[in-house]
Structure 1
Amino acid sequence: MELRHLKTFVAAAEAGNFTRAAERLEVTQAAVSQHIAVLEAHYGQVLFERGSRSATLTEAGGRLLETVREIFELLEAADEQIAGNRPVVTGRLKIASSTVPAEWWLPEVVAGFRGACPAVRETVTVSNSRTASAAVAGGDADVGVVGELPGDDRLVARAVAEDELVLVVGRDHPLAGMERISMGELLTLPLVVRGNGSASQRCVDEALELAGVHRDELVTWMETNSVDATRSAVTRGLAAAFLSRGAVIDDLESGRLKHIQVGRVRPRRQLYLVTAVDRVVGTPLREFLEFVESR
């Protein structure tokens, strides 16, 4: 087995087709097939399920792909450290994010990172904080951006931003002209709330409980984890909602939404970057973490 065989393997896995991999590598399809056959003989495992027009990784092939990518990233790091030059950073960066960071913090960060490392290919999967953390712990993502500390010893978290959750109503809502309402008035308001797994909703619930109000006492008009659905309902005056200030800052500045203070309740939380404790940090992830820390 040689390094060129592993490069062919990665190209075939990314292309999903031996013909396209051969075109990318500027070799013949027969050469690609031969390199894959060498690897399969070496490991004693079938790495691809061959179809008439596609080549799909088997479970063993998927495991090898993750390892080979880490090997190439380490080789790039060795070039940088030993040769004293800084090669172009390439590779993939898989990001798992909860919905709120994906609304305002993450797009700005990824745009800046892309300017610094344009050859890195990022993919972003959006869910809730628990699912995003689980993706990092399970190896399905390199880094997570979440709204609460994960309760998993396999993960380490670092705070990167503060998120304030504010009660908002539409500009035509009867309370739009008010700056503050009491806890009693909040209990009469139809609200859009987040569903299970939402870290932002847990932050709001905890802040309200400190003020003596349980979530069951609220008037729930709609439950959804969609920020867009919530914003749409609130903008049309159908209900009020606690939303991230960062996610609705444009709506607040334009006047489409109005912020109303609720008593002394001020739900705040940290946003965290989450990585795996015992996983090799590849070059794209290392560069991303350093970029975030330098902001």
Structure 2
Amino acid sequence: MNLFQLRAFDAVAKEGSFTRAAERLFISQPAVTGHVKALEAHYHVLLLRRGARTVSLTPEGKQLASITHALFGLADEAHAWLEARREVLSGQLAIAADSPQQVMPLLARLREHHPGVVVQLTLGNAQSTLDALLAEQVDVALITTAAPRHGLHLQPLAASRLLLLLPIGHPWAGCPAVRVAQLEGQGMVLREPGSMTRQTLETACQHAAAKPQVMLVVGSREAVGEAVAAGLGLGVVLSGELSPDPRLCTVPLLGEGLEQPHMLACLARRRELKLIRTVFELAG
């Protein structure tokens, strides 16, 4: 059985015209005519009645058309399914981030659009996140305040502002804002030196000529929150990075250089890899 002949007949039966059937199949009209004639000649059956301007089905043609419509309908359905699957991404993607609050919505969009992608997420501070990307331990990194450099592709995302973290009963808890200069001599709980929140605070304090006292250094924002709640000192956190805690409150800081952009980064030479490009597109 010649499927090309059957496909040509099916197209003529659907379109009621050799010309439109040829357009449907992207072949010439003589080719369609030849396929149908060959089919009829091979099986010694008349399938179509050809008029001056019209084409109609014989009873045998109607019976065959009911079969070919089902046959090629399934073929078209299979083609559509395969085309859709070709657009579905799969594989593994390694991401490093210094802000879980910023990266999780991006991962949620990735899961929604491409559920076949398996993500390995590494959380750390800004320096360790950048180091992991430059060492090619991860494919994509979400970093706070990454400086442009050769070989690094950066895409700005949102921006956060440094807030003062206080225990709920602190005298400043009800203030609309606190100036960085007021941190002079205040006991502080800070992240490790590679943390962007610490670097941002230290830079702002230099501008304001303020010298707070570092009372405790911890390795995570969660630990900062626990230490501040325990009365071990004041802390700082970027807006949007603190989970609700009835023991704590935040107050805006006033000073220079307190706003920090979040950047999505990859190695420039890997920017056009399909999976990495998709992540950047989803990030918007």
If the length of structure 2 is used for normalisation, what is the TM-score?
0.64
**Pair 1:117–1:219, CA change in 2 (3 A):** same
Deviation of the 1:249 alpha carbon: 5.7
CA contact (8 A) 1:173 1:237 kept: no
> Is 1:275 matched up with 2:272?
no
Extract structure 1 runs of 4+ deviating beyond 6 A.
Answer: none
| Structure of greater Rg | 2
Name the residue aligned to 1:287.
278
Deviation of the 1:264 alpha carbon: 4.0
Q: Aligned partner of 1:275: which letter?
A: C
Deviation of the 1:155 alpha carbon: 1.1
List aligned pairs for 1:122-161, cutoff 5 A. Answer: 122-150=119-147, 152-161=149-158
**CA–CA distance in structure 2, aligned partners of residues 208 and 234 of structure 1:** 20
Q: Aligned partner of 1:94: which letter?
A: A
**CA–CA distance in structure 1, aligned partners of residues 176 and 190 of structure 2:** 21
In the alignment of these two chains, the number of paired residues is 205
Deviation of the 1:193 alpha carbon: 1.2
Q: Aligned partner of 2:89: which letter?
A: V
Name the residue aligned to 2:88.
88
Deviation of the 1:280 alpha carbon: 6.0
Of 253, 259, 276, which aligns to 2:250?
259
Name the residue aligned to 1:200.
197
Report Cα offsets for 1:140-186 as digits up to 9, x if no partner: 11111111224642212111110111002011234323334455542
CA contact (8 A) 1:186 1:262 kept: no
Which stretches in structure 2 are left out of the alignment for 5+ residues?
1-82
**Pair 1:276–1:176, CA change in 2 (3 A):** same
Deviation of the 1:257 alpha carbon: 2.1
CA contact (8 A) 2:93 2:119 kept: yes
Name the residue aligned to 2:238.
244
Higher relative contact order (CA 8 A, sep 6+): 1
List aligned pairs for 1:1-295, cutoff 5 A. Answer: 86-98=86-98, 101-102=99-100, 104-150=101-147, 152-181=149-178, 183=180, 185-213=182-210, 217-248=211-242, 250-251=244-245, 255-264=246-255, 267-279=258-270, 281-293=272-284
**CA–CA distance in structure 2, aligned partners of residues 265 and 183 of structure 1:** 9
Q: Aligned partner of 2:240: which letter?
A: G
Q: Residue 131 of structure 2 aligns to a residue in which SS? A: helix
What is the identity percentage for the equivalent residue pairs of Structure 1 and Structure 2? 22
Q: Aligned partner of 1:235: which letter?
A: A
**CA–CA distance in structure 2, aligned partners of residues 193 and 271 of structure 1:** 20
Q: Aligned partner of 1:127: which letter?
A: G
Structure 1 vs Structure 2 CA RMSD: 2.7
